[in-house]
Amino acid sequence: MTKPEFDLRWKMLSYDRQVTQGRFAENPNGISGEKRVAFGLSGKGRHGAFCFADAYDVRTRKQGKSFACRVERASSHGSSPFKFAAADEGEADDHGTEIGAIVTRNFVAEDELREMIGTKFSVIPSFQILLNRQPMQLLDIKNLQTSTVQIEGHGVVTVHQIDSETRDRTTHLRGICWWVKQRAVGNPSWGGLDGEGAYLDGRGSLARRYSFVVEA
């Protein structure tokens, strides 16, 4: 982000990502591939570090510029729940945003964190996540069941069932995702499974818990 973009997105409590930035994630120069639907909507996740500390640091780079800021909890009697202290501005030859904090509470063990993140985001193979510098892979998930199905006239397909063990608020990144040669085709969805006699579709609570990856 540029500094004006940071000021708009980070300081506005009712920020609407889709209205301001559109539905798809920005695709920086040098990164090819299909457009990906952006994660998040109202920007609540940007303050997620407050679950672990009373302050966190943001460093963001874009268009050759770098900007850093410290975000802290403000007094309950103030006009804003947060305080922003700009650290420095400078030059940058890369792009991206980093959020850092010293964890003082609610520490999550690496194995548990890897499972929580993996069951959500591993259905999109092009979206790379590294935890302690180790990439997260679909087959590393513990709550994964894999089976093969023989389809007459087409051959064998592999089906992975992912059980997150918790129900998300929405079905985003839940449903059936098709992979062809390790590349996702479309986005996970329960679309087309809401007809009469459907065993599992997007209307039930289980639809916010399970995902299926079909490799063909």
Q: Is pLDDT above 80 for 64?
A: yes
Read off the pLDDT of each residue in 108-122 and give the average, rounded to a whole number.
Answer: 85
Query: Mean of the per-residue pLDDT values for the chain?
Result: 84
Quote the CA–CA distance of 194 and 190 in Å, as a whole number: 8
Q: Which of residues 150 and 164 earns the better pLDDT score?
A: 150
Query: In this structure, are 33 and 79 located in the same domain?
Result: yes
**How many domains are there within the chain?**
2
Query: In this structure, are 172 and 84 located in the same domain?
Result: no
Written as one string, the DSSP assignment of 130-164 is EETTEE--GGG-SSEEEEEEEETTTEEEEEEEEE-
Query: In this structure, are 95 and 154 located in the same domain?
Result: no
Q: Which residues contact 104 (CB under 8 A, 6 or more apart)?
A: 52, 53, 54
Quote the CA–CA distance of 174 and 155 in Å, as a whole number: 26
Q: Is pLDDT above 80 for 139?
A: no
Summarised one tens digit per residue, pLDDT across range 98-113 is 999 999 999 999 988 8
**What Rg, from alpha-carbon coordinates, does the chain have?**
20
Question: Binning pLDDT at 50, 70 and 90, where does residue 69 land?
Answer: very high
Question: Binning pLDDT at 50, 70 and 90, where does residue 21 land?
Answer: confident
Summarised one tens digit per residue, pLDDT across range 151-162 is 999 889 999 998
Q: Which of residues 119 and 198 earns the better pLDDT score?
A: 119
Does residue 121 lie in a domain region? Answer: no
Q: Is pLDDT above 70 for 167?
A: no
Domain extent for 42: 3-100
Question: In this predicted structure, what is the pLDDT of residue 33?
Answer: 66
Does residue 27 lie in a domain region? Answer: yes
Read off the pLDDT of each residue in 168-176 and give the average, rounded to a whole number.
Answer: 72
Question: Binning pLDDT at 50, 70 and 90, where does residue 140 land?
Answer: confident
Question: In this predicted structure, what is the pLDDT of residue 116?
Answer: 83
